[in-house]
Amino acid sequence: MRTRGVLADLHNHSCLSPCASLEMSPSLLARRARERGIEVLGLTDHNGALNCPAFAEACRREGIVPVFGLEACSLEEVHVLCLFGSAAAALAFGERLLGSLPRLPYDPEKLGDEVVVDADEGVLDLPDYYLGAALELGFDELCLAASGSGALVVPAHVDRPMFSVSSQLGFLPPGPYAAVEAMRDPDPSLRGGFAVVSGSDAHVPEHVGRRAFEVELDPEALAAGRSGGGAEFLAALGAALRKGAVLPSWARAGTAAGSPRAPGAA
Amino acid sequence: MKISELGTEQGFRSLQSDYADRGLGGGYTSDLLSDVMANAKSEGVLVTIQAHKNTVAVASLIGIAAIVICNGRPVPDDMIEAARAEGVAVFHTDKSQFEVSGLLWPALGAGTEGAAPRA
Ligand SMILES: [Zn+2]
Ligand SMILES: [Zn+2]
């Protein structure tokens, strides 16, 4: 099957994340992503997936392939993207993580609002616990739990000076990763031989798409992802990542956006 | 102060005793292994809550002699196994990093004071 290069951005926050802008609804995220040519879009709120149902509908309206995820924070304070093929799978994993979330005193005034919305920006719920805390779950255990639940596991911003494998753990431990995410071309000790993707880590609408990456995907898998076949799409995305069929943002600089990747290019 | 005295004198629980007992040369307190890699000294003790096998890898890279895991943080088995393989002593305590650093300062502070961080 002939593949084509598509723009993907797997790391984005919505108004469920206490540190994200309140206007960052799943529908605005999807709209901005479509405007910026992104075809595969991930929602990864901190330690929670409660906005994934709204995100599913928002992506359907925009014709975008959704990836349902969350950005878990391990005991060591390492951020990990856990990406699923359906809102239900992401919600179930989020529910499981709640058992490991310490109930710290949470003051939305000081720490930021956490808002569960529908696809029309109607407020559904305001969780009364703080999602920004570190889970009582070690990094290795967390990665195994996520991959055991069918997630693609991607250590987030591995080269960031905070909340990353480099800052907290010095280098990347072996693990069941589909890829690693970095902000710039990372040191080999942080890639561990895995494919490197970039991610926008958007917390405000202006940042959507700022570090999108290009990935080679089968048009049939994309069609499946657009029409509810999320599990099939996730498998294809995982295979493309493991094959290294990606161009992170720094490698895309100078190439035309959306242009197919040259065969055999690293 | 010798490594074994972290157990016999300070009362920290020894989790891994396959190491060559010898005098400690100072110490460093940090939970960020990137910071430990940049600033800890060899032959010292590392006071931390970062209970992960990478802590052992960083310790053996630098030549840190002993690790004290604070605040009663659970220590994964693979960390203890790695420490045994590398001959790095591992101790465990319910005390905080602040308390442990204070307890060790009288014996080890002189080895730390004025020491320039490694480049
Ligand atoms: Zn993060
Ligand atoms: Zn993030």
Which residues on B lie below 8 Å from A173 (Cβ)?
A: 52-54
Higher pLDDT, A144 or A262: A144
Spacing, Cα A262 to ligand 2 middle (Å)? 30
Domains of chain A, by residue range, sit at: 4-252
CA A60 to ligand 2 center in whole angstroms: 23
State residue A105's pLDDT score: 87
Residue B116 has pLDDT above 90, yes or no: no
Enumerate residues 6+ apart whose C-beta is below 8 A from B78. A140, B53
The C-alpha of B32 sits at a distance from chain A's nearest C-alpha, in angstroms, of: 5
**What is the least distance, in Å, from the CA of B81 to any CA of chain A?**
15
| pLDDT of B36 strictly over 90 | yes
Distance from C-alpha of A179 to C-alpha of A197, rounded to nearest angstrom: 7
In a domain, B49, yes or no: yes
Ligand 2 centroid to Cα of residue A172, in Å, is: 18
Which pLDDT band, with edges at 50, 70 and 90, does A253 fall under?
Answer: confident
Q: Which domain holds residue B23?
A: 5-110
Q: Which tokens in the block code for residue A91?
A: 């919600």
- CB contact A168 to B (< 8 Å): yes
In a domain, B16, yes or no: yes
- Tell me the nearest-neighbour CA distance from B112 into chain A, angstroms: 22
Residue A166 pLDDT? 96
> A169-218 pLDDT, tens per residue?
999 999 999 999 999 999 999 999 999 999 999 999 999 999 999 999 99
Strands (E), A23-164: 40-46, 65-73, 79-84, 116-117, 123-125, 152-155
Give the CA radius of gyration of chain A. 17
Q: Is B52 within 8 Å of A139 when comparing Cβ atoms?
A: yes
Burial (Cβ within 10 Å: 0-12, 13-18, ≥19) of residue B8: exposed
Predicted local confidence at residue A1, as pLDDT: 66
| Chain B residues lying within 8 Å of A140, measured CB to CB | 52-53, 76, 78
Indicate the helix (H) or strand (E) that contains A5: strand A4-9
Helix (H, G, I), strand (E, B) or coil at A100: coil
Q: Which ligand is in closest contact with the Cα of A17?
A: 2
- Which of these, A31, A2, A4, A3, lies nearest to A12 by C-alpha position? A31
Give the model confidence (pLDDT) of A205-214 as tens digits.
999 999 999 9
Residue A68 identity (one-letter amino acid)? F
Q: Which ligand is nearest to the CA of A200?
A: 2
Tokens encoding A85 = 């093929």
Is residue B119 included in any domain, yes or no?
no
User: In angstroms, how far is the first alpha carbon of chain B from the final one?
Assistant: 26
Name chain A contacts of B62, Cβ cutoff 8 Å: none
Find the A258 Cα to ligand 2 centroid distance in Å: 24
What ipTM score was computed for the predicted complex, to two decimals? Answer: 0.83
CA dist., res. A97 & res. A101, Å (int): 6
Q: What percent of chain A has pLDDT over 70?
A: 95
The answer to the question of residue B39 being in a domain is yes
User: Cα angle at B80 between B79 and B85, to 5 degrees?
Assistant: 100
Tell me if B74 is assigned to some domain.
Answer: yes
Superfamily of chain region A4-252 = Metal-dependent hydrolases (3.20.20.140)
Residue A34 in tokens: 């479509």
Look over chain B and give the mean of its residue pLDDT values, rounded to a whole number.
Answer: 93
For A258, the token pair is 């959306």
Enumerate residues 6+ apart whose C-beta is below 8 A from A110: none
pLDDT (average), residues B80-88: 97
For chain B, how many structural domains are there in total? 1
Write out pLDDT tens, residues A55-94: 999 999 999 999 999 999 999 999 999 999 999 999 999 9
Residue type at A193 in one-letter notation:
G
Which ligand is closest in space to the CA of residue A199? 2
Question: How large is the angle between the packed helices A87-98 and A52-62, nearest 10 degrees?
Answer: 160
DSSP for A220-253 reads HHHHHHHTT-HHHHHHHHHHHHHHT-EE-HHHHT
At A49 the pLDDT is 98
pLDDT tens readout for residues A37-56: 999 999 999 999 999 999 99
| pLDDT for B118 beyond 60 | no
DSSP A206: G
pLDDT tens string B91-106: 999 999 999 999 999 9
d(CA A16, CA A175): 28
Task: Note the pLDDT of residue B110.
Answer: 75
